[in-house]
A and B are shown apart, each in its own frame.
Chain A
Amino acid sequence: MKHTSAQSILPVLLQGKGKALNGFDFSPKLWHGVILLAVCLLTSTISFAQSAPAKISVIDALFRWMPLLLQGFVFNLVISVFAMAIGTASGAALGLGQISPNVAIRKVCWFVTQFFRNSPWLVLLFFAMFLLPFEFSVFGLKIPLPDWLKATVGLSLPVMANVSEIVRGAVNSLPSGQWEAAESLAFSRRQTLWEIILPQCVKRMLPPWMNLYAILTMATVLASIVGVSEVMTLTGQALAAEGGRTDLLAPFYSFVLLIFFIYCYPIARWTVYLEQKFAVKG
């Protein structure tokens, strides 16, 4: 009892809370996923009962198309990883630009960040799809630029802007005493930033950055609208190939839901864990 009251007075003690810190508690809260799986199976069986005996059962149909759908999902993951890499690299540069002592750089980086952060993802995707050529030639060598790569670039733009804000916010969130202390120890600005400020920022940035990644992964299905053959597109085509059977609609889409859940849920749990771990310091 004494322990809890101390917690509310001294938040620093919170870090000792629970077993979260004693090794990463990753025993998955399975019931979340089990519910989804149940929905998937339930919709399958309900519709199975409805469908005519001549047709193959919903479960059979789902199993038949599963390899193709999973292939499509891997494609979504590839897009998300590349878009995150491009977005993080350019966003970090942009974020540092936003805290530059040079007014011009600061203003430009601020504008670029705000512009891409406040544009709908789908519109940026459309622009990337149609502004980039489908192939370009370098010294007579034709390099094709496939659709999925264009979609990756399109999705990396909002990621870039969000990472830029994460970097700026993390740097600004550090107490100014850190800068002042560094200055009093005769560190240059560059040294202060790289050796004192940024290392402290990394752990602050990690949870929102992972959050952003989970959001991006779920946003990759937008690429289906611009014709990339990812999991949503393939699901629609699989349903069409089954002759537009309405009883397949719910099981197929809940399957897509389920695979996204299986992938994104651990990321979300891990983010929560990291947030708890890094909370309250400073």
Chain B
Amino acid sequence: MKLEKLFVAVAFSAFALTTTFASADALDDIKAAGVLKVGVKADYKPYGFRDPSGTIIGIEPELAKDVADKLGVKIEYVPVVSSNRMQFLEQGKIDLMIATMTDRPDRRKVVNIVDPNYYSSGTNVLALKSLGLKNWDDLNGKPVCGIQGAFYNKATSQKYGAKIVAFKGTAEAYAALKGGNCAAFVYDDSAIVAKTNDPEYADYEMPLPTIDDAPWGLAVALGEDKFNALMSDMITGWHKSGRILELETKWGVSNTPFAKAMNAKYK
């Protein structure tokens, strides 16, 4: 969280000092350049991660590729992290952001989040079975591992009073959890379900009810309404054709209730 605030503060001071470029229309610029620059995660398996050759792969990169194909341009993946993804979009360094971002009202003021939402996840924790967590209030005052700049940290710390210990990546957070540095690891529920099936995590469980089942929003820069409309059609198309369900299966995620519901709604 601190890092995110620092980024925002410095970005704003930078904004005050440098002039911004008034560009015509993102879609025209993309077509003129012949390349679509998409901000995706590179450390969030299976939504966006690297293969050993360095290429970024996963569910979100595939969705981004669909957009590039539709526009008839080449694709360029720009790896982003939670703390810089919105700044990259504001600066124009990326044209489109599909980076596991939770749709929040305060974020809608900074970037142009496209409706309908393309995905959804809830907040849950991974904790030792022996700890016997029963409800979220049990976390009060306890150290809980999280990922820097992640949405999941917020409710856990603000509503339930846990002390968030934020790490750069999931491997570091899991190691801290196993090392006993924190009582639980707060993350998205689909990742945690997958972890509990791992024999290495046999002593761990997902003891709490999922909270904050929040939709994910892909976003374009503020003021790009034409691009927004095009993306809106794309998302509707993905839900309609079952593309999201298909990608979930391909990348080894069990189909989420949200993806199923959206598929049923638009079919």
Chain A residues engaging chain B, CB cutoff 8 angstroms: 51-52, 64-65, 67-68, 71, 126-127, 129-131, 133-134, 137, 225-227, 229, 233-234, 236-246, 248-249
Contact = CB atoms under 8 A, between A and B. Distances in A.
A131 B37 CA distance: 22
Interface string B141-176: 000000000000000000000000000111111110
B52 A249 contact: no
A262 to B, nearest CB: 22
A134 to B, nearest CB: 5
Contacts of A248: 171
Contact of A227 (B84, B92, B200): B84
Contacts of A238: 50, 52
Most buried by B among A52, A127, A129, A248: A129
B92 A236 contact: no
B70 to A, nearest CB: 25
Most buried by B among A131, A233, A244, A248: A244
A227 B10 contact: no
A133 B171 CA distance: 33
B14 A239 contact: no
Contacts of A129: 10
Contacts, number: 94
B80 A234 contact: no
B91 A236 contact: no
7 contacts: A126-B10, A130-B7, A130-B10, A240-B44, A240-B49, A241-B52, A249-B172
B17 A131 contact: yes
A106 to B, nearest CB: 29
A68 B53 contact: yes
Contact of B42 (A226, A237, A244): A237
Contact of A130 (B13, B195, B200): B13
Contacts of A249: 171-172, 175
B97 interface: no
B130 interface: no
B17 A229 contact: no
Contacts of B42: 229, 237, 240
A164 B50 CA distance: 41
A64 B50 CA distance: 12
A236 B52 contact: no
Given A52-B200, A68-B50, A227-B80, A134 B171 contact: no
A248 B45 CA distance: 16
Contacts of B169: 236-237, 239-240, 244
A138 B92 CA distance: 18
A65 B43 contact: no
Nearest to B195: A244
Contacts of A126: 6, 10
B52 A134 contact: no
A23 to B, nearest CB: 42
A240 B45 contact: yes
Most buried by B among A51, A67, A127, A133: A133
Contacts of B174: 244-246
B51 interface: yes
Interface in B89-103: 91-93
B171 A234 contact: no
Nearest to A245: B171
Nearest to B178: A246
A26 to B, nearest CB: 34
A68 B54 contact: yes
Interface string B52-75: 111000000000000000000000
B18 interface: yes
A211 B18 CA distance: 36
Most buried by B among A71, A237, A243: A237
A120 to B, nearest CB: 12
A236 B168 contact: yes
Given A64-B52, A244-B45, A244-B169, 6 more contacts: A68-B50, A68-B52, A227-B80, A236-B168, A238-B52, A246-B171
Contacts of B168: 236
A52 B202 CA distance: 12
Contacts of B79: 227, 229, 233, 237
B240 to A, nearest CB: 31
A133 B21 CA distance: 10
Nearest to B49: A241
